[in-house]
Amino acid sequence: MSAPVAEIAVVEDVWGPTFDALAAERTVLRVPDAWQRPAELPALLAGVSALVVRNRTTVDRSLLASCAALRIVGRAGVGMDNIDVPAADELGVVVSVPFGANAVSVAEHTVGLALAVARHTVPLDTDVRSGGWQRRPGRELAGRTWGLLGLGATGRAVAALARALGMRVIAYDPYVPDGDIPLVPLTQVARDADVISVHLPATAETRGLVDDRLIAAMRPDAILVNAGRGEVVDEPALADALSAGHLFGAGLDVRATEPPTPGPLENLPNVVLTPHVAGITAESQDRITQVLAQDIRAVLDGGTATSPAGIGQPRRQP
Provide Rg for the chain, Cα atoms. Answer: 21
**Burial (CB count within 10 angstroms: exposed 0-12, middle 13-18, buried 19+), residue 212:** middle
Rounded CA separation 123/267 (Å): 12
Q: Which stretch binds ligand NAD (CB under 6 A): 32-40, 127-135, 151-159, 188-196?
A: 151-159
- Nearest Cα to Cα of residue 210 among 236, 181, 184: 236
Distance in Å, CB of 124 to ligand NAD, minimum: 25
**Looking at beta carbons, which pairs linking 270-273 to residues 24 or more positions away fall under 8 Å?**
270/117, 270/120, 270/123, 270/242, 271/117, 271/242, 272/113, 272/116, 272/117, 272/121, 272/122
Interaction with ligand NAD in 236-265: which residues (CB under 6 A)?
253-254
Q: Which is nearer to ligand NAD, 74 or 228 (CB)?
A: 228
Q: Is 246 a catalytic residue?
A: no
Catalytic residue among 25, 205, 258, 283: 258
Beta strands 249-252 and 195-198 are: unpaired
Q: Is 12 a catalytic residue?
A: no
Catalytic residue among 120, 156, 276, 287: 276
Here's the x/- map for ligand NAD, 15-54, by CB under 6 A: it reads as: ----------------------------------------
Q: Is 276 a catalytic residue?
A: yes
Under rule CB under 6 A, residue 308 binds ligand NAD? no
**Nearest 5 degrees, angle CA 223-CA 226-CA 231?**
130
Of the candidates 74, 98, 112, 150, which one interacts with ligand NAD according to CB under 6 A? 150
Under rule CB under 6 A, residue 153 binds ligand NAD? yes
Residue numbers at the binding site for ligand NAD (CB under 6 A): 78-79, 102-103, 106, 150-155, 172-176, 199-201, 203, 205-206, 227-229, 253-254, 276, 278-279
Question: Catalytic residues, which ones?
Answer: 229, 258, 276
